[in-house]
Structure 1
Amino acid sequence: MRSLQWLGMARHGESTGNVASHDAAARGLEAVDMTLRDADVPLSQLGREQAAALGRRLAALPSEERPTAVVCSPYLRARDTARLALEQLAGPPPVVLDERLRDRELGVLFMLTQHGVQARHPEEAERKRRLGKFYYRPPAGESWADVALRLRSVLADLDREHPGGRVLVVAHDAIVVLTRYIIERLSEEELLDIERTVVANASLTVWAREDEGLRLVTFNDTSHLKDAGLL
């Protein structure tokens, strides 16, 4: 039975939510000043330029190495990243949306800074310290383990539906890191060590088929952004 030959994962470009979150943290605020649903947060202008640079990186690949399928989180910032990137390719494959690729849901902690969580929900900050980042589930939200569970089914479907194919996934930083956790069979400690390095906006992570499994080729690659002067 043939399996997926190449898996690429791109984080969405910089969003207006990323900009607002960084600003709120820098100013010591408790909450991020945004009223949009997480699903509706758009790209910033820089994020749009990053998405185009990602597309040029993919377009520069030999034709036999370019994605044959694209699967995307339904969140606006991911959809627009995929659309803008694929505009750089001649005859790109259609984009398929999959809600299982959405960002981690934070529940009552949504749009709170670390300072805000400590100030407004000190019991949750303590519970997270006690349970650890991987297993902590905020009220009405998801743990990292919850996200891994839905992601396992996505990866199994991609392998079954794209035998011999090359699939590009456009999603979120948690999805990229947890894909490493699943494919590479990492431990909780190994995952959290990797997670200390921020997955950059519009970065590219790639696995390629080797023998019976997928092998990591590049992680969190931003060379295309550096070449475009976007870092």
Structure 2
Amino acid sequence: MAVTELILIRHGESIGNVAREEAESSGAPVISMPMRDADVPLSETGVEQARAVGQWLAADPGRLPDMVWSSPYLRARQTAQTALAELTNPPALRQDERIRDRELGVLDLLTRRGVESRFPAEAERRQWLGKFYYRPPGGESWVDLVLRIRAFLADLERTGHGRQLIVSHDAVILLFRYVCEQLDEDRVFQIARTGSVTNASVSRLVRQDGEPGWRTAVYNDHQHLEAFGARPTEHPGELDAAR
């Protein structure tokens, strides 16, 4: 049996999300974070959100995945592990580096103000090229994420089946839609302009068994958080995501 459903979960709120918001609101050029991006953990709110995801899964056996995949970044792994702890017989959890967050290279930990003051030429180049194709020095463009996702899905098609749950990051989740629905650049930015992917939100891509085409059944839904007592939070991972 082929893969018929992808449940895409953004990680819960991280302390990095909170630190970025504080830095942007105060006008600071640099985000205060004493650890590398891969090691940033969930906030207390993020843990509650992850627990709510698990309770949502446990409430309906029809939602249970056949396999769970996680970005290797700590905030995603914690989200997956916390959610699975709510299940009586949790499925296997696997990590895959191809669904990790976008690498920002020299722009890592810089706010919008920081980029404009320290790398004005890069700010201009980003504005000219647009988010889809702009690659910061030492970092990745959205197209680079697309290539990672295509490789991940190709392997998943060969080895997976049924319902697959993927815990990842906001831009990655949006670009799963780009790949699976065969969208173009304009359409993906139309979706981005409607708002960022909410922490611990659920998106579902579905298709009939054996058919190649995917459709989005649910996108960026967070009703389960409120239903199970967790507060929704919206922290754009990349402030210029809407181009």
TM-score for the superposition, normalised by structure 2? 0.91
Residues 1-231 of structure 1: matches in 2 within 5 Å?
2-61=1-60, 63-163=61-161, 165-196=162-193, 197-210=195-208, 212=211, 213-227=213-227, 228-231=229-232
Take 1:5 and 1:186, find their aligned partners in 2: how far apart are those partners?
A: 19
Take 1:57 and 1:160, find their aligned partners in 2: how far apart are those partners?
A: 29
Take 1:169 and 1:65, find their aligned partners in 2: how far apart are those partners?
A: 13
Give the letter aligned to residue 49 of structure 2. Q
Residue 77 of structure 1 aligns to a residue whose secondary structure is: helix
Task: Compute the displacement of 1:35 (Å).
Answer: 2.1
Take 1:134 and 1:151, find their aligned partners in 2: how far apart are those partners?
A: 15
Q: For residues 99-158 of structure 1, what are the alpha-carbon distances to aligned partners after superposition, in whole Å with 9 as ceiling and x for unaligned?
A: 111100000000100111011101000001111110000000000000100110111111
Q: Which moved more, 1:65-74 or 1:204-213?
A: 204-213
Residue 71 of structure 1 aligns to a residue whose secondary structure is: strand
Q: Percent identity?
A: 51
Q: For the Cα contact (< 8 Å) 2:23–2:30, is it kept in 1?
A: yes
Task: Compute the displacement of 1:210 (Å).
Answer: 3.0
Residue 3 of structure 2 aligns to a residue whose secondary structure is: coil
Task: Compute the displacement of 1:209 (Å).
Answer: 1.6
Task: Compute the displacement of 1:3 (Å).
Answer: 1.7
Take 1:108 and 1:71, find their aligned partners in 2: how far apart are those partners?
A: 29
Q: For residues 38-61 of structure 1, what are the alpha-carbon distances to aligned partners after superposition, in whole Å with 9 as ceiling and x for unaligned?
A: 000000000000000011111112
Give the letter aligned to residue 220 of structure 1. N
Task: Compute the displacement of 1:229 (Å).
Answer: 4.5
TM-score for the superposition, normalised by structure 1? 0.96
Take 1:229 and 1:80, find their aligned partners in 2: how far apart are those partners?
A: 16
Aligned residues: 228
Task: Compute the displacement of 1:65 (Å).
Answer: 3.6
Q: Which runs of 5+ in 1 are unaligned?
A: none
Give the letter aligned to residue 15 of structure 2. T
Take 1:175 and 1:57, find their aligned partners in 2: how far apart are those partners?
A: 22
Take 2:226 and 2:63, find their aligned partners in 1: how far apart are those partners?
A: 22
Residue 165 of structure 2 aligns to a residue whose secondary structure is: strand
Q: Which runs of 5+ in 2 are unaligned?
A: 233-243
Give the letter aligned to residue 152 of structure 1. R
Moved over 6 A (4+): none
